[in-house]
Amino acid sequence: MKTILLAGGLGSRLAEETVSIPKPMVEVGGRPIIARVMDIYSHFGHNEFIVAAGYKCLMLKKFFSDYHLIANDITVDVDTGDLRLKPISSGGWNVSVVDTGALTMTSGRIRRLRDWVGDETFMVTYSDGLGNVQIDRLLEFHRRHGKLATVTAVQPPARFGNMELGENDLVSAFTEKVRRYETWINGGFFVFEPGVFDYLVDDMEPLEQSPMVNLTADAQLVAFKHYGFWHPMDTIRDRNALNEVSDRTPPPWLDFDNIATDVASAPRAVI
């Protein structure tokens, strides 16, 4: 099954990094975040990826064309240029990098990959968010519901303090971290049937606008609730937070053994 990685945006809120590299190439724990996202799918045996590139597409093509050198040790005969690889890891990935346009929005990027996907179920996610989403359970959920689209619903990370208001405008609670309760947002990690392409009609429209709205109106979108780790990389603060936990064994986005099953047992803070 193919997985589309949306990797074409400008990443303006990470301008400190993205002025020189595309956002998916920003490193988390010494590796581009796009590779970290791919690790999640690879853990469940999904190794066929299509990178929907745009901004600084050439750098993504260069990264993956050189990945066999980056991920392994090498021995070079400097007189002849003969190079031998000494594998130290096995990614097993098959990666296609497709230029879907510098200004194309997310729905258009997916639409332009229709011929690459074919007539099979496929997955889509962003290249700037990490979560220990159990892909096998996500796919089982999608198949069980029989709809055109499944989105992974996540609870937002704590960014601000939380105030609870009582009677007469009195603050009844003031906490350092937000209480997430049943607040859900789009966390990516989509599963789509080919029929979704009928909803992708405008290159300049984000996936999250009319395509998702119309799928919802037609009762063709279901949400897989994920109570485990999830964190986007929208800002420098996000990048730093992910870097701080990247040296854990395993890192939280690959810790599939400790995932809550309901809101009561979910951790209050993602990081």
Q: For residues 2 and 216, what is the distance between their CA atoms, to the nearest angstrom?
A: 24
Bridge partners of 98, per DSSP, are: 52
- 């599939």: which residue's tokens? 256
Q: Which of 126, 153, 128, 127 is nearest to 138 (CA)?
A: 153
Question: Average pLDDT in the 241-252 region?
Answer: 93
Q: For residues 229 and 182, what is the distance between their CA atoms, to the nearest angstrom?
A: 15
Question: Average pLDDT in the 105-133 region?
Answer: 96
Domain boundary assignment for the chain? 2-259
CA atoms within 13 Å, Cβ hemisphere of 132? 16
- Is CATH 3.40.50.300 the classification given to domain 2-259? no
Structure tokens at 141: 């959920």
Q: For residues 51 and 5, what is the distance between their CA atoms, to the nearest angstrom?
A: 5
In this predicted structure, the answer to whether residue 269 has a pLDDT above a threshold of 50 is no
pTM above 0.75, yes or no: yes
Q: Which of 89, 137, 155, 115 is nearest to 4 (CA)?
A: 115
Q: Render pLDDT for 57-94 as a digit per residue (tens, 0 to 9).
A: 999 999 999 888 777 788 988 888 888 888 776 668 99
Return the DSSP state at 228.
S
